Amino acid sequence: MNKVFELPQLKFAFDALEPAIDARTMEIHHGKHHAAYVANLNKALEASPEFFSMPIEDILKGINTVPETIRTAVRNNGGGHANHSLFWDVLNPGGKSAPSGALLKAIESAFGSTDAFMEKFTAAATTRFGSGWAWLVLDGQKQLQVYSTANQDSPYMDHHIPILGLDVWEHAYYLNYQNRRPDYIKAFWSVVNWSFVEQQYEKAR
């Protein structure tokens, strides 16, 4: 399927998320950071080219079948590729500004309300020490869960399906927010594309 993994094109302009996320941050985040994960993933897989035929999500689900010599590189860079690919879709402007329908019902059932969910997700994103991600996932029992992961670890490694993710690495916000991660998280809610999150939920369940 893949000859090699490729950096997906952004579906929106670098400045489309301003003022929540500034253009320069988007340009570096996509063109340098995400691009480096893709390049390093491809480099690692040269040793086991059979993995080029698999979707990145499936490689991560089966991370323990990846040869030990390249497993850490695939975990970090393959995770980075999958996580950022989802993140750009979550941020793609133009969708609904709040959850509705089946996803809203599931959020209310799991967390009580959308506000309670957002509080829980915000807490996970705020308290992740160092670099990582906050997630809303569908777990193996098809239940919604909120948690964070370290570094570029992906929920797919636990056979969970991420439907909403937030990058809390400093490279995602430092130019505009410096050490003010909570301000970045607050601004993030203003640019979430809930139409995409709902589609991701429908695919996952």
What is the distance between the alpha carbons of residues 144 and 109, in angstroms, rounded to a whole number? 9
Query: For Mn ion, how many residues bind (rule: CB under 5 A)?
Result: 3
**53 close to 153: Cβ distance less than 8 angstroms:** no
Window 129-168: residues binding Mn ion (CB under 5 A)? 167
Lateral strand order in the sheet of 144-150:
144-150, 132-138, 161-167
Nearest approach in angstroms of CB 69 to Mn ion is 26
Nearer to Mn ion, 99 or 132 (CB): 132
- Contact flags string 166-205 toward Mn ion, x per CB under 5 A: -x-x--x---------------------------------
Question: What distance lies between CA 54 and its chain's CA centroid?
Answer: 19
Nearer to Mn ion, 8 or 62 (CB): 8
- Integer-rounded Cα Rg, in Å, for the chain is 17
Nearest approach in angstroms of CB 172 to Mn ion is 5
Q: List contacts with Mn ion (CB under 5 A).
A: 167, 169, 172
